[in-house]
Amino acid sequence: MKTLLLFAAIAAAALTIQGPLSAQNGGAPKAGKAKAKAKAGPFTRLSDGKPNMTGYWQTAVFFTAYDLEAHEKATFEVPAGPGVVIDPPNGKIPYQPWALEKKLDMVKNHLADDPQAHCWLSGVPRQMYTPFGFQILQSDHAVLLNFEAFHAFRVLHLEGKHPDPAIKLFEGDSRAHWEGDTLVVDVTNLNERTWFDMEANFHGPDLHVVERYTPVDADTIRYEATLTEPKVYTQPWKIGFDLRRNPEEGYETLEYACVEGEQDLQHYTESVGGAAQDKK
């Protein structure tokens, strides 16, 4: 399986299903090219009055998997675009000088170390914009996010407390509560073994993420995440984009098993990976 090529292929397929991205999310509809999509109705509610977010969802901004920052040049064949960093206004992660130097060195010399390319779990928030679908299930005690990629899942606990800070997990520990119709998720206990994208945007061991899931209509959830880590960034920063309901009738989550040690690194180096193996 060619992991990164598959990322791009499925992301393109997702765009075909979803239609053009909005200007806010890096693309603009072209007049006369497609029939206007019918406006989605209001979201429904569960018996307890909370928004009903159950169903299958997918990110509306596939290019975020490659680079979540605003980028002025094409990256991995992805066009230049505004990215999804909405604060600071310049669309850039507010790295401390040493951290920016480290990020640029990883881009230049260590892209093959991308944890996702080696089939590690994606972490938070990267798991939310990996270009594969996921399912949301809700109960009185938790919200479950079941991802197609890498057999990953997240349990957003609606009760209880975070474990000992010494416990570090790829997906961290998520404790959620409702603020009106917005599900607010406090994520801690993240390890430092994940990146945010294929452009080596990174964090340290003390990353704290606060997510907000706000239903807009029956087919749209607004996702925002504020990321804080004073040892790496000069200030907290925020990303934001839409999640879209999968409209495919009869859709089911498929198994996408990523195998650690595979040779799919052709997007990173010319000497290692599928392209080099093919030459042999």
Closest residue by Cα to residue 141 from 156, 130, 131, 124: 156
Q: Are strands 134-138 and 208-217 parallel, antiparallel or unpaired?
A: unpaired
Q: Which residue has the tokens 């307890």?
A: 48
The answer to whether residue 254 scores a pLDDT higher than 90 is: no
pLDDT at 16 over 50: no
Locate all alpha helices (DSSP H) within the chain, ordered by sequence: 3-18, 97-109, 126-129, 274-279
Q: Is residue 93 part of a domain?
A: yes
Per-residue pLDDT at 110 exceeds 60: yes
Q: How high is the mean pLDDT of the chain?
A: 83
Flag whether 172 is in a domain: yes
Give residue-wise pLDDT tens across range 40-60: 899 999 999 999 999 999 998
pLDDT digits (tens, 9 = 90+) for 256-265: 878 766 555 5
Confirm whether 55 is domain-assigned.
no
Please check whether residue 36 lies inside any domain of the structure. Answer: no
Q: Is the whole-model pTM more than 0.75?
A: yes
Question: What angle is formed at CA 159 by the lines to CA 156 and CA 160, rounded to 5 degrees?
Answer: 105
8 Å CB contact between 137 and 156: no
Give the Cα separation of 63 and 70 in Å (integer): 11
Of the given ranges (47-51, 126-130, 236-240, 250-254), which has the lowest mean pLDDT? 250-254
Residue 274 has a CB neighbour count (10 Å cut-off) of: 18
Residue 278 is predicted with a pLDDT of 62
pLDDT in tens, 63-79: 777 899 987 777 666 67
Query: Is residue 62 a part of any domain in this protein?
Result: no
Task: For 162-211, write each residue's pLDDT tens digit.
Answer: 999 999 999 999 999 999 999 999 999 999 999 999 899 999 999 999 99
**pLDDT exceeds 80 at position 141:** yes
| Structural domain boundaries, residue 181 | 3-28+74-279
- Is the confidence at residue 139, as pLDDT, over 70? yes
Q: Rounded mean pLDDT of 231-242?
A: 97
Does 34 fall in a domain? no
Q: How many domains does the chain have?
A: 1
In a domain, 224, yes or no: yes
Cβ-based neighbours of 232, under 8 Å, separated by 6 or more? 95, 96, 99, 202, 203, 204, 207
Whether residue 68 is contained in a domain is answered as no
Query: Quick check: 29 pLDDT over 50?
Result: no
107 Cβ neighbours under 8 A, 6+ residues apart: 199, 200
Q: Which residues contact 225 (CB under 8 A, 6 or more apart)?
A: 124, 125, 128, 209, 210, 211, 212, 238, 239, 240
Mean of pLDDT values over 230-243: 97
